[in-house]
Amino acid sequence: MRQKRTVQGSIFDLYAEHEIGRELKAMSDWLDGHPEILDWMAPELCRAEIKETGREGLSVESILRCAILKQHRQLSYEALAFYLEDSHSFQAFARLPLGLRPKKSVLQKGVSAISDASWERIHRLMIRDASVQKIERGRMVRVDSTVTETPVHEPTDSTLLWDAVRTQVRLMEQAQELAGPVRLKWCNHRRVAKKRAYQIQYSRGKEKKANWYRDLIKVTRKGLNYLDKAWCTLTQLTIDEAAFAAWEAQVKHYRGLIEGVIDQSQRRVINGEQVPAAEKVFSLFEEHTDIIIKGSRDIQYGHKLNLTSGRSGLILDAVIEEGNPADSERFMPLLERQIEIYGRAPRQIAADGGYASKDNVQQAKDKGVKDVAFHKKKGLKVDQMVKSDWVYRKLRNFRAGIEAGISCLKRSYGLSRCTWKGLEHFKSYVWSAVVAHNLAVFSRLLLAR
């Protein structure tokens, strides 16, 4: 049965006399000061199916601390397992029982079980604590947006169709295993699909590409027919019901996505239509992926984040958006979340030019904000936003500081690209990066006092 805390720590828990060692010690002290965090996370990590007998394994406390270490130092699970065995400072921070050195699979299973709701709850607790200790009162805030990419290749219709054929072959191989001695009638079209995808990529001329696309779409449709026939055959056989249900769920999940890929390829390439982004599939394996175009910059595939920061450099709030909403539409919801966190509106708020609108200025001031400054005026006059030119310049320069915070999150905490699969894990990844960043910044501010 998993314990909440490491019952007895080692007397040899020593941190290195180094900047990183002192920082880890300060982070550990803050976590020790809030044992209620372990109570929040226990239901997720102490699952009912875990037997009460046998080896205890990692405690809830150790899993949380390992997750923070992973994001704080941007380590793979394999590297994290090595450092937990090699580094005394890492062992002390992770509160590992003497002699317990977890493998990468154990770490992955534990860390991935922490939900985004738990990470966000820890974040809110840290922000409240920063307010109590007068490190960040949330009186002067800045807002900006960025994009965190999902782990997908650049989606083109040809590569998506090739992914579809590969997935169909994998599902048919699983179906054949379920069928046992009964031979299912199907053909493996991976080779021809891969060839057509490469021909589309490297050939020139719309007509030539369209011919290759017709062939690739035809092959993909054949794969769907094979799956339909396999399903009919398997329902008539005596096979493991649980295994069949799992296979059937995969078929239903991928079938809708594959049909979407076929439809958008037919419409865009063969019929010459403009397919709206909302109707497109950008990945079979990370189907939640959105297409994000910020201004005239490169196209990105992932999710848009709206971040709020304060004078301390702490990230006060993070919102993972659905789709690609205009920044101006998200300004007031972000402000309302700040009011919810602090119980009052900030005195001053600065934001990028994309958030600018006359309605946003008026609504923000109605909520109690004294000064609202946008990086680009967008037809607004300075006296409509703030009380003087000096205040506007001050807030405009203050807003630029969030760019450094976003850059730090992306370079040092992995927020440029999520490496975890699935939407829920994407949200957990983002929030774990924000918590690790804030905990490090909070600890440095405490040490600097």
The tens digit of pLDDT for each residue in 43-61 reads 888 764 555 544 567 889 9
How far lies 278's CA from each of 282, 288, 291, 292, 434, in Å?
10, 11, 9, 11, 29
Paired sense of beta strands 315-320 and 140-149, if any: unpaired
Query: In this predicted structure, what is the pLDDT of residue 44?
Result: 86
Surface-to-core class of residue 54, CB atoms within 10 Å of its CB (0-12 exposed, 13-18 middle, 19+ buried): exposed
Pick the more confident residue, 96 or 331: 331
Q: Give the mean model confidence (pLDDT) for residues 10-24.
A: 78
Position 116 confidence tier, pLDDT thresholds 50, 70, 90? very high
Whether residue 174 contacts residue 207, with contact meaning beta carbons closer than 8 Å, is answered with no
The torsion angle over the Cα atoms of residues 211, 212, 217 and 223, rounded to 10 degrees, is 140
Rounded Cα distance, 218 and 274, in Å = 22
The residue written with tokens 């994407």 in the block is 426
Q: What is the pLDDT of residue 48?
A: 46
In terms of DSSP bridges, do strands 140-149 and 299-310 run parallel, antiparallel, or are they unpaired? antiparallel
pLDDT for 228-252, tens place per residue?
Answer: 999 999 999 888 999 999 999 999 9
The reported pLDDT for the residue numbered 16 is 84
Q: Give the confidence band of 104 by pLDDT, cuts at 50, 70, 90.
A: very high
CA 84 to chain centre: 25
Separation of CA 72 from chain center: 16
Confidence of residue 17 (pLDDT cuts 50, 70, 90): confident
- pLDDT bucket at 145, cuts 50 / 70 / 90: very high
pLDDT bracket for residue 6 (50, 70, 90): low
Q: Is the pLDDT of residue 427 over 60?
A: yes
- Quick check: helix, strand or coil at residue 349? strand
All structural domains of the chain: 19-114 (no CATH), 117-152+289-422 (3.30.420), 157-279 (no CATH)
User: What distance in Å separates the CA atoms of residue 393 and residue 375, rounded to the nearest whole number?
Assistant: 9
